[in-house]
Amino acid sequence: MTNQTQGYHIPENQHGTRLDRFLIGTVEGVSRTYLQKLIRSGEVTVNDKIAKQPSYQLQHGDRVSLTLPAPRPLDTLQAENISLDILHEDSYLIVLNKPAGMLVHPANSVNVGTLVNALLAHCRTDLSGIGGVERPGIVHRLDKDTSGILVVAKTDVVHRELSVQFERHSITRQYVAVICGTPTKTVGTINAQIARSRRDRRRMTTVEIGGRHAVTHYEVLETYPKFALVQLTLETGRLHQIRVHLQHIGHPVVGDTIYGGEQRALNDADTPQLKRAFTQLKRQALHARLLGFVHPVTDENLTFSATIPKDIQQVVDALQIF
């Protein structure tokens, strides 16, 4: 297959519309996130000039050109018989509990051992193709070292409908985390824009101007000397959002090697049991424990939960005897 280029002339009734919003309403079968990625990678032009931002406001008469890269053949991805913790499966979608340490989809040089590899073995012919063949069925993602619940689409229609729910923030996403320190307020909201760090491209950071709108609600469930167990509810879903927001308020996630939680937790561990639990954790103590959404086909309100994994529970147990 070859790249496909599509062209559009902006009508008067679309004057002032954001570029990404115009495209998501015009291009069928492609998610907003994927379109924004194409814009940032130079695959979209306006009046023959590369569009630099998804937020560009279109003018009446503008000429927009979009190049959709040809997906890699599905055969280049290896199906692997990896055990999946499936919470629900029907003809339209799968809800599963992803373990820590598993990438959701192939990235960089990693093409094996991912959730996509496992899904190809589990239901190769029954996955949505939206987002390219490298991410068949993937509607949203969790960081490699974050465990918890994900929903996977089996059809393009279901993928689009679930994506709309994510974009409208109508899906319930609840996490638990062990954090360094204790917030002053037991209930609060973190509202801080997020952008990629210019110093380290692996990291995201909070910014005052030019980032993406991001909101996280938190509630302190338990407090311990120098640590706390918190519940977090996402209003938006940006890359590394919870980890960045918690670092922003001075309470990074225990074990987080990128955002300062690993070394701080080890420095504040005042008992052998706690230091051992932190050392054995080997990842950030963050778990997506609840996901709720409306089934795109049956209209049922569905809610799924997954208990805290053993490695995080061992940290909680050690904190309780701190």
Q: Kindly report, residue by residue over 9-47, the tens digit of the pLDDT.
A: 988 888 998 898 888 777 755 667 778 888 888 889 999
Residues belonging to the active site: 143
Instruction: Judge whether 84 and 73 are in contact, CB under 8 Å.
Output: no
Domain 4-68, second-level architecture: Roll (3.10)
- The model's confidence at residue 319, banded by pLDDT at 50, 70 and 90, is very high
pLDDT for residue 72 is more than 60: no
- Topology match between the domains 74-167 and 172-320: yes
Q: DSSP letters of 27-94?
A: STT--HHHHHHHHHTT-EEETTEE---TTPBP-TT-EEEEEEPPPPPGGGSPP-----EEEEE-SSEE
- pTM higher than 0.85, yes or no? no
pLDDT for residue 134 is more than 90: no
What local confidence, expressed as pLDDT, does residue 42 receive? 85
Query: Three-class SS of residue 199?
Result: coil
Taking the CA of residue 71 as centre, how many other CA atoms within 13 Å lie in the half-sphere pointing to its CB? 15
CA of 30: how far to CAs of 23, 154, 194, 197, in Å?
A: 9, 15, 24, 27
Cα separation, 286 vs 256, in Å, equals 9
Task: Please report, for the chain, the start and end positions of each structural domain, with discontinuous segments joined by +.
Answer: 4-68, 74-167, 172-320
Amino acid, single-letter form, for residue 9: H
pLDDT for residue 301 is more than 90: yes
The yes or no reply on domain 172-320 and CATH 3.40.50.300 is no
Cα separation, 128 vs 169, in Å, equals 21
What local confidence, expressed as pLDDT, does residue 33 receive? 72
Instruction: Give the residue-averaged pLDDT of 94-99.
Output: 97
pLDDT for residue 1 is more than 50: no
Would you identify the CATH topology of the domain 74-167? Pseudouridine synthase (3.30.2350)
Instruction: Give the residue-averaged pLDDT of 41-65.
Output: 90
pLDDT for residue 172 is more than 70: yes
Query: Three-class SS of residue 137?
Result: coil
